[in-house]
Amino acid sequence: MLNIGIILGSVREGRNAEAVTNWIHDFAAKRGDEATYEIVDLADYQLPLLGAAVPEAQKQEAEAAISAWSEKMASFDGYIIIAPEYNHSVGGALKNALDHLKPEVADKAAGLVGYGSLGGTRAHENLRLIFGELQVADVQTAVTFSLMTDFENFSVFKPADYHADNANKMLDQLLAWSGALKQVRENAQAVTS
């Protein structure tokens, strides 16, 4: 059984990310894979900006948030990243959350889901650079929703049927690589222990 985290990558009030996250979660859960799919909402973790000074009164809370985020991300074999596009790139909240990680996500796989005027593809290309450095294997197929045609008034999510094909491909690739990389991690542990 593989554990897959679905990372809700926007903390904006009124965010579209919730509808997209719920859609991919329900879609994945209905496939009957040998996998669990759990939504992880960045808004549930009040992560400080990496390296920024935190007032003494908030230090304990900030450290607890960083630990909880780290432990949650370490518990998965792979990730589905819900990434909206901000200024042709990944949103700041998601980038900051990823900057807090390194060994927790190494030798694991990720599938990308995005939305924007061009489906969030520029945020995805940016994420692929970040994942290269984090040793995360991002799969080729991404699910890319258009703010113009998959949302009504840019806010009511009404995805076109054809996205199901890409969602299935992305999930097939993600599960294959998550399983393979689980073996890689186990092999590495056997060699070093």
Residues forming contacts to ligand FMN in the complex (CB under 6 A) are 10, 12, 15-17, 84-88, 116-118, 147
Which one, 15 or 108, has the nearer CB to ligand FMN?
A: 15
Residues belonging to the chain:
193
Residue of this chain nearest to ligand FMN (CB atom): 116
The count of other CB atoms within 10 Å of the CB of residue 36 is 14
Please count the other Cβ atoms lying within 10 Å of the Cβ belonging to residue 66. 18
The CB-of-25 to ligand FMN minimum distance in angstroms stands at: 15
Q: Which is nearer to ligand FMN, 33 or 125 (CB)?
A: 125
Identity of the residue, 88 or 185, whose beta carbon is nearer to ligand FMN in the bound complex:
88
**In sequence order, what DSSP letters do the residues of 106-165 get, joined into one string?**
TTEEEEEEEEETTTTHHHHHHHHHHHHHHTEEEEEEEEEEETTTSEETTTEE---TTHHH
- Nearest distance, CB of residue 93 and ligand FMN, angstroms: 9
Nearest distance from residue 16's CB to ligand FMN, in Å?
A: 4
Closest CB to ligand FMN among residues 27, 177: 27
At its nearest, how many Å lie between ligand FMN and the CB of residue 155? Answer: 8
CB of 73 to ligand FMN, least distance (A): 20
Q: Is 125 exposed, middle or buried (0-12, 13-18, 19+ CB in 10 A)?
A: middle
> What are 191's two structure tokens?
């060699």
Q: Which is nearer to ligand FMN, 17 or 134 (CB)?
A: 17
**DSSP run (H or E) holding 189:** helix 163-192
